[in-house]
Amino acid sequence: MLGRRLLGVTVTVTLLSLDGWGLFRLYRVFKPDQHGAKVTHFSLKSTLVGRSLEEIAVVPKGGGAGPPLLVLLHGRGSSPSSYLTKYWFDALAGLGARAPVLLLVNGGDHSYYHDRADGRWGSYVTQEAIPAALAQTGADRRRIAIGGISMGAFDNAEDFARNDVLEIASSRPVPLGRKARVWIDVGNRDPFFSADSELARALCAYGQKVVFNVWPGAHSGDYWNAHVDRYLRFYASALAAC
């Protein structure tokens, strides 16, 4: 609670220090030009998680029939709407006819998107959220990619032991399949730099093709926002090749 109060104070002080142009730029980030994209909020009653969850679908303007679907997973303590910023809308518009439909999945506060004691979150993504988005948008079920930021780790050692991605990465040759295209990037000041680097090395050692990038930056919105264009270009290219 104290942390939330301090955050509120910080935001208030920051806003008061902005001039008119600064306020306009802040408005453009969080109330962006959607470039004609259709944003649909819908409720999904999940039997696997045992609750109703609010999801978001974004259908870009000008896409052809049966566009691909990109599933985006938000960070810990965040929400699907965290992707509804100018960075994502601008980058999506820049792809033109290659732009995918976006499914902004609700992962709760800290589900880490895998099956666990408080719900089958991984199964919910693949068995409930994705089929619901396909029905909602008419996206191509044969061309689906999944990506996201930050919340792809684990709560604690016990949780990690049940979902050891490093063990999976080194379990067999080409562990994710020869057709899978994998992207991992991390800031050079990110506290997870070593773990991300180890995962990329393990996948490559077992024959998995991985695009691995290290750029200046920390584990922060500023870092991710600076690379949204690159993320979406990677997904558009991978999905076009499916």
The winner for highest mean pLDDT among 11-20, 164-173, 195-204 is 195-204
Q: Looking at the structure, do residues 90 and 32 belong to the same domain, yes or no? A: yes
Percent of the chain with pLDDT over 70: 83
Residue 9 pLDDT level (bands cut at 50, 70, 90): very low
- Residue type for position 7: L
| Cα 104 to Cα 88: distance, rounded to the nearest angstrom | 12
pLDDT number for residue 30? 62
Q: Which residue has the higher pLDDT, 23 or 180?
A: 180
pLDDT number for residue 7? 40
Place of tokens 């000008």: 62
pLDDT number for residue 62? 78
| Cα 113 to Cα 127: distance, rounded to the nearest angstrom | 13
| Cα 70 to Cα 115: distance, rounded to the nearest angstrom | 21
pLDDT number for residue 117? 85
Q: Looking at the structure, do residues 127 and 168 belong to the same domain, yes or no? A: no
Whether 70 maps to a domain, the answer reads yes
Domain boundary among 92, 119, 150: 150
Q: Looking at the structure, do residues 95 and 197 belong to the same domain, yes or no? A: no
pLDDT number for residue 141? 95
The number of folded domains in the chain is 2
Domain boundary among 150, 180, 200: 150
Q: Is the pLDDT of residue 22 over 50?
A: no
Q: Is the pLDDT of residue 153 over 70?
A: no
State pLDDT tens for residues 188-229.
Answer: 999 999 999 999 999 999 999 999 999 999 999 999 999 999
pLDDT number for residue 197? 95
Nearest residue to 35 via CA among 91, 79, 100, 105: 91
What is the CATH number for 41? 3.40.50.1820
Token pair, residue 109, equals 């506060």
Q: Looking at the structure, do residues 49 and 130 belong to the same domain, yes or no? A: yes
Place of tokens 């695009």: 211
Q: Looking at the structure, do residues 136 and 31 belong to the same domain, yes or no? A: yes
Q: Looking at the structure, do residues 31 and 114 belong to the same domain, yes or no? A: yes
| Cα 237 to Cα 242: distance, rounded to the nearest angstrom | 9
Sort 117 into a burial class: Cβ within 10 Å, 0-12 / 13-18 / 19+: exposed
Q: Looking at the structure, do residues 165 and 204 belong to the same domain, yes or no? A: yes
Summary mean pLDDT of the chain: 86
pLDDT number for residue 31? 77
pLDDT number for residue 151? 79
Q: Looking at the structure, do residues 62 and 162 belong to the same domain, yes or no? A: no
pLDDT number for residue 52? 98
pLDDT number for residue 116? 85
Q: Which domain holds residue 185?
A: 153-218
Q: Looking at the structure, do residues 141 and 54 belong to the same domain, yes or no? A: yes
pLDDT number for residue 27? 45
State pLDDT tens for residues 90-135.
Answer: 999 999 999 999 999 999 998 989 888 889 999 999 999 999 999 9
Q: Is the pLDDT of residue 13 over 70?
A: no
Q: Looking at the structure, do residues 196 and 129 belong to the same domain, yes or no? A: no
Q: Which residue has the higher pLDDT, 32 or 238?
A: 238
Task: Determine the 3-state secondary structure of 189 from DSSP.
Answer: coil
Q: Looking at the structure, do residues 146 and 159 belong to the same domain, yes or no? A: no
Whether 211 maps to a domain, the answer reads yes
Please name the residues in contact with 77: beta carbons below 8 A apart, sequence gap of 6 or more.
109, 110
Q: Is the pLDDT of residue 21 over 70?
A: no
The winner for highest mean pLDDT among 42-46, 108-112, 151-155 is 42-46
| Cα 145 to Cα 70: distance, rounded to the nearest angstrom | 5
* 136-147: average pLDDT: 95
Q: Looking at the structure, do residues 34 and 140 belong to the same domain, yes or no? A: yes
